[in-house]
Amino acid sequence: MPAGRRDLVGERARTVAPGDVVTYFVVRSPGTRPPDVASVRKVTQNTEPIAIRERTVDGFTREFLRELNFGQGVDLSRASVNDQYLALARTVRHYLMVRWLETLRRQYELQAKSVAYLSAEFLLGRQLDNALLASGLQDVVEEGLGNLGIDLATLRDAEVEPGLGNGGLGRLAACFVDSLATMNVPCIGYGIRYEYGIFRQTFVDGWQVEKPDNWLALGSPWEFPHPEAAVTVSFGGHTETYDDEGTERTRWVPGWSVLGVPYNYMVPGFENGRVNTLRLWSAQATRAFDLEIFNAGDYAEAVRAQTFAENISKVLYPEDSTPQGKELRLQQQYFFVACSLANFLEEVLPEDFDLRRLPERIIFQLNDTHPVIAIPELMRILVDERKWNWDDAWAVIQKVFAYTCHTLLPEALEVWSADLLGRLLPRHLEIIYRINEEFLDGVRERYPDDELRVRRMSIIAEHPERSVRMAFLATVAGTKVNGVAALHSQLLADKVLHDFSEYFPEKFTNVTNGITPRRFVRLANPGLSGLITGAIGDGWVTDLERLKELEPLADDAEFRRLFREIKTNNKHRLVDVLRERDGIELDPDTMLDVMVKRLHEYKRQTLKLLHVVSLYERITSGVLDIDKVTPRTFAFGAKAAPGYRMAKQIIGLINAVGRTINEDPAVKGRLSIAFPANYNVTLAETLIPAADLSEQISLAGKEASGTGNMKFALNGALTIGTDDGANVEIRQLVGDDHFFLFGLTEPEVADVVDAGYHPTSYYESNKTLRHALDLIASGKFSGGDRHVFEPVVANLLQEDRFLVLADFQAYLDAQDRVDAAYADTDAWTRSAVLNVARSGFFSSDRSMRDYIDRIWHTPPIDPNA
């Protein structure tokens, strides 16, 4: 080995000389125990330690070509774009590998308390750019590829984003694991490796049509499968009690089982040498293929077990609010939870670890109710398998689980029928019954003769059928329960879980959501990032509150000019992307008014649409002088759960209105709708930096937090919104002068509903509203067919559960204020700069600090320790 060669293991630079001791691993799958230090081998002349990747253009180019030739088996001249992309991805991950292995080694040594983030969804987005940013290799790669005649942008677009989530909850999980890695906090993310992620949305005549998301088809270079670390997961069967040397014990006799194969993904910290792990589980049959049955000629039967097993991790459930209560969904939830607990207890922890000390070593964060079955599963392991007594086991359970609730909609709180649970997981149901009994004993003690309260608080509901309320189970067992914004957590304690916040006041807390500034500012908005770094240095990327230092520059005309220029450039970038991607011609010289989020009635996309229709109606009827209307483009992005008919109707109506308005010369250049299909993380990264106005108009008291609202504010868009979710905290921080507030507050909504809400009274008393609704009902947007969108109008007039009509006029008035404000470009830009400067609080790094202080107590690891 040439003297003076640098050894960068763990990024610590030192020269390696013959006879030196270098730590390197017998490479066993990450997550499995590393060998003890004793097995380190003396460096000999011809032993190549972990290859040190030269972070030079030459070094990279050599690696890339090696990967292309030896990894992809092609030479450059014949390589397809996908070959080049896969080779690049693997090359970049090589540069991160040393950090990953070092992180694992040190974590194993330190056995520091860490977070296990259990989530049924991780909406990761594309990985390449984030890996380049984390490894600081962007420029080297851009130049190296350029020298080979390859355009990095082309390879970037070859990556299919892993759509392993529906929306807010899944994306939040991805932001959180990014922050924990960047903050040097040990964390394992546990989830499901769906073969098919969230469906690909297409529009046929304006109607949503779902296509399967076969994201793995062209290869998945960011994952590391470890079949040797597979876990057996059981289902069905029955339980039986037996005498165990005088102690009566219960055993579960399962009916069938599957294998859970772990796939590890890197979660690189931002330029800090740490790489945490995301472990996603894939289901396989224990016996993939039955040769006997095959030889007997029943080919389908021979592979039935495999197909059946694979179904468990086949596809993500596309609902993001109303659980369907499907058995397969419960199978998915138990599958990944059982795999994760077994993996952590048997693979991650040292062999002889005393589980009584588990609370010192791990906190399992339950991302909504989807992983809550982990609670009876760990009880089963401790009591049935480790033969602990109930109380000792329960004492540990209450310290190692914490629950985050992400919704306020009663219908979104998961309830599993005792019948289904008893059939699929008979032992777990028994354990839940016992947990409930012991809990209710305590309730009866605290509130004697209050059986109503007991029934209200019971984890087991008797009506309409006997079922298990998962949110209640999580609250009874968890050490902490948190909402995701101040208002949300307040409403959880005051309303949704009131009995429990009275009974366990110390458990209830709040952690307001956040977003990672690496992906949603540094990567998505390089122009703005450069401007900020130019002004205050680049510390903001890992300390977002530093943005405050921009405040004085809001009064700097030159800074405002540059800020505006960047917004305009981002608009032009969006114009090119939408033309290429969707054939949409967007006019960059209009105000870009954006509403992007899942389609749900409580988010009130219909209110936004009534504003557009009303503008169009008043312009075309001559009520409104077109020259007084600010030229606007209304951009929508929204997927509807396939079974959510009203949501799909609303998508159809938005596209129909868009078609009519976009083709009407009377409003050309003034009003237009852009509704690109298949809104996802990748599109958000281009759309959000281009936006002027962010629509956050849910009915107060319905949106738990929102995270899009934070991304828009941090990218210099102004918000028009209600006092709902995190909007309240955004408005408080950016200031009322820089936020367009409107609408009923949550208490006012409650009063209106309690008083009895009659949407038609608003229709009758408000001409502008009536004309807009009548225009839709007239068939104007549906070729004269009055029936197509009748259900949407009828629902608004008859039910209007989310008070769209009640908030209509206040919303229109707020939009007039927007028009007036936008006319003063400089003042608008000043407000936009202040939104950026005052939104540092909404970093997911800050959210992590709050979780660590209030719930987890998992301090960051000192990288130099």
Which residues are at the interface with ligand 26W (CB under 6 A)? Answer: 166-169, 172, 319-321, 323, 368, 406-407, 412, 414, 484, 513, 703-707, 725
Whole-angstrom distance, CA of residue 474 vs CA of residue 369: 7
- Amino acid type, 335: F
When the beta carbons of 195 and 703 are compared against ligand 26W, the nearer one is: 703
- Measured between alpha carbons, how far is residue 465 from residues 200, 221, 410, 417, 796 in Å? 36, 46, 17, 7, 32
Nearer to ligand 26W (CB atom), residue 273 or residue 708: 708
Compute the distance between CA of residue 251 and CA of residue 227 in angstroms, rounded to an integer. 28
> Would residue 598 show up in a list of annotated catalytic residues for this protein?
yes
β-bridge mates for residue 257, sequence order? 234
Q: How far is the CB of 382 from ligand 26W (least distance, A)?
A: 28
Which 3 state secondary structure label does DSSP give 647? helix
Q: Is residue 742 a contact partner of residue 793, using CB atoms and an 8 Å limit?
A: no
Of the candidates 828, 714, 809, the one whose C-alpha atom is nearest the C-alpha of residue 766 is: 809
Q: Give CA–CA dist 646/638, Å, rounded.
A: 13
Please indicate whether residue 406 is annotated as part of the active site: yes
| Count of positions (residues) in the chain | 865
Catalytic residue among 93, 518, 597, 600: 597
- At 279 the three-state DSSP class reads strand
**How would you classify the pairing of strands 481-483 and 460-461?**
unpaired
Note whether 310 and 284 are within 8 A (CB): yes
Q: State the burial class of residue 850 (Cβ atoms within 10 Å of its Cβ: 0-12, 13-18, 19+).
A: middle
Contact between 687 and 675 under an 8 Å Cβ cutoff? The reply is: no
The residues pairing with 602 across neighbouring beta strands, listed in sequence order, are none
Residue among 414 and 692 whose Cβ is closer to ligand 26W: 414
Rounded least distance, CB 434 to ligand 26W, Å? 26
For residue 574, how many other CB atoms are within 10 A of its CB?
Answer: 26
Nearest 5°: CA angle at 225, between 222 and 228? 160
The residue annotated as part of the active site, out of 406, 507, 519, 600, is: 406
Closer to ligand 26W by CB, 210 or 543: give it.
210
Using CB atoms, what's the residue nearest to ligand 26W? 168
Say which of 519, 560, 603, 648 is annotated catalytic. Answer: 603
How many other CB atoms are found less than 10 A from the CB of residue 733? Answer: 18
* Nearest-approach distance from CB 317 to ligand 26W, in angstroms: 7
Give least dist CB 856 to ligand 26W, A: 17
Closest contact distance (angstroms) between CB of 173 and ligand 26W is 9
- We find the least distance from the C-beta atom of residue 801 to ligand 26W, in angstroms, to be 16
Q: Which of 53, 193, 518, 598 is catalytic?
A: 598
Q: Exactly one of 239, 633, 707, 829 is catalytic; which is it?
A: 707
Q: Which amino acid is at 451?
A: E
Work out how close the CB of 628 gets to ligand 26W at its nearest, in angstroms, rounded to a whole number.
35
| Closer CB to ligand 26W, 25 or 602, in the complex | 602
Helices first, then strands: H and E counts in the chain: 33, 27
Q: CA quadruple 49, 53, 59, 64: dihedral positive or negative? A: positive
Catalytic residue among 370, 639, 711, 731: 711
Nearer to ligand 26W, 117 or 252 (CB): 117
DSSP element (H, E) containing 137: none
C-beta of 707: minimal distance to ligand 26W in Å?
Answer: 5
Q: What is the rounded CA–CA span in Å between residue 763 and residue 66?
A: 69
Q: In the structure encoding, which two tokens stand for residue 538, read together?
A: 């680049």
Closer residue to ligand 26W (CB): 696 or 782: 696
Is residue 608 part of the annotated active site? The answer reads no
**Nearer of residues 168 and 221 to ligand 26W, judged by Cβ:** 168
In angstroms, what is the minimal distance from the CB of 325 to ligand 26W? 9
Active site residue 707: yes
Angle between helices 426-446 and 390-400 (to 10 degrees): 90
Distance of CA 780 to the CA centre of its chain: 38
Question: Within 13 Å, how many C-alpha atoms sit on residue 551's CB side?
Answer: 10
DSSP letter for each residue of 39-69: G--B--TT---SPPPP-SHHHHHHHHHHIII
Instruction: Identify the helix (H) or strand (E) that includes residue 240.
Output: strand 238-244
Residue 361 or 603: which CB sits closer to ligand 26W? 603
Chain centroid to CA 816: 34
- Nearest distance from residue 660's CB to ligand 26W, in Å? 31
**274 vs 469, which CB is nearer to ligand 26W?**
469
Give the side-chain half-sphere CA count within 13 A for 411.
9
Query: Would you please indicate which residues are annotated as catalytic (active-site) residues?
Result: 406, 597-598, 603, 707, 711
